[in-house]
């Protein structure tokens, strides 16, 4: 029989949420998520990250417009199909890069730091698992990373306190799930144990 406990159940139960109710999370819930983020490990204990939480519907709507404009200028530097699809989606009236989540947490880090992405990704997973444990939905949102060098996006984020020199690693959409997410099956052949 496999080992089971609360954390393992939380890890298995977490899903990417892409449909949110309009309800905002509480200040205590946001605090708990941000606290979970800063307790993640970091290379050399750098802790050079910054987590910027946006909860204003007005600012999120403006950011969505800024991201839409950014995609108008965006030329994908690789063949990742999601990037091309997102550029097309950004032309649509109903475009919303954070799935209408009422809270968006942006993880940025100091420039030219080799572990910037790894540190922020670990912190984001802490956020996702903490969200799951609190009955909240969450989703990794990559578009701000793709547009991290876009002048319009950086200008807008600078106004929100994200340092201009920081690299934008990723972001997390957070809120209450409006629907259960499908469970993407896990691929076989991805584990190799040597004893």
Residues found near ligand FMN in the complex (CB under 6 A): 15-16, 18, 139-143, 181, 184
Distance (Å, whole) CA 139 – CA 185: 17
Q: Which helix (H) or strand (E) holds 175?
A: strand 167-175
Nearer Cβ to ligand FMN, position 48 or 138? Answer: 138
Beta carbon of residue 82, minimum distance to ligand FMN (angstroms, whole number): 7
Collapse the DSSP code of 56 into the 3-class scheme (helix H, G, I; strand E, B; otherwise coil) and give the result: coil
Beta carbon of residue 128, minimum distance to ligand FMN (angstroms, whole number): 8
Nearer Cβ to ligand FMN, position 8 or 31? Answer: 8
Question: Do the beta carbons of residue 35 and residue 54 sit within 8 Å?
Answer: no
Q: Residue 103 is encoded by which pair of tokens?
A: 């809270």
Beta carbon of residue 194, minimum distance to ligand FMN (angstroms, whole number): 26
Beta carbon of residue 170, minimum distance to ligand FMN (angstroms, whole number): 7
Q: Residue 126 is encoded by which pair of tokens?
A: 């802490």
**What are the C-alpha distances in Å from 78 to residues 51, 74, 81, 99, 127?**
27, 12, 9, 24, 29
Nearer Cβ to ligand FMN, position 11 or 31? Answer: 11
Distance (Å, whole) CA 68 – CA 18: 18
Nearer Cβ to ligand FMN, position 25 or 177? Answer: 177
**What are the C-alpha distances in Å from 96 to residues 18, 92, 128?**
11, 9, 20
Beta carbon of residue 92, minimum distance to ligand FMN (angstroms, whole number): 16
């Amino acid at each position: 029989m496999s080992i089971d406990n609360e954390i393992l159940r939380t890890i298995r139960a977490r899903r990417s949420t892409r449909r949110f109710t309009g309800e905002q999370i509480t200040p205590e819930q946001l605090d708990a998520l941000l606290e979970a983020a800063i307790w993640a490990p970091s290379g050399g204990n750098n802790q050079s990250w910054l987590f910027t939480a946006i909860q204003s519907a007005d600012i999120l709507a403006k950011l969505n417009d800024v991201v839409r404009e950014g995609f108008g200028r965006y030329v994908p530097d690789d063949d990742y199909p999601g990037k091309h699809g997102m550029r097309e989606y950004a032309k649509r009236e109903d475009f919303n890069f954070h799935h209408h989540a009422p809270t968006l947490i942006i993880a940025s880090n100091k420039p030219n730091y080799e572990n910037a992405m790894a540190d922020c990704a670990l912190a984001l997973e802490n956020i996702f698992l903490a969200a799951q444990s609190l009955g909240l939905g969450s989703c990794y949102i990559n578009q701000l990373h793709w547009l991290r060098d876009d002048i319009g996006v950086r200008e807008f984020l600078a106004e929100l306190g994200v340092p201009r020199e920081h690299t934008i690693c990723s972001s997390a959409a957070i809120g209450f799930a409006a629907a259960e997410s499908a469970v993407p099956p896990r691929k076989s052949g991805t584990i190799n144990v040597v004893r």
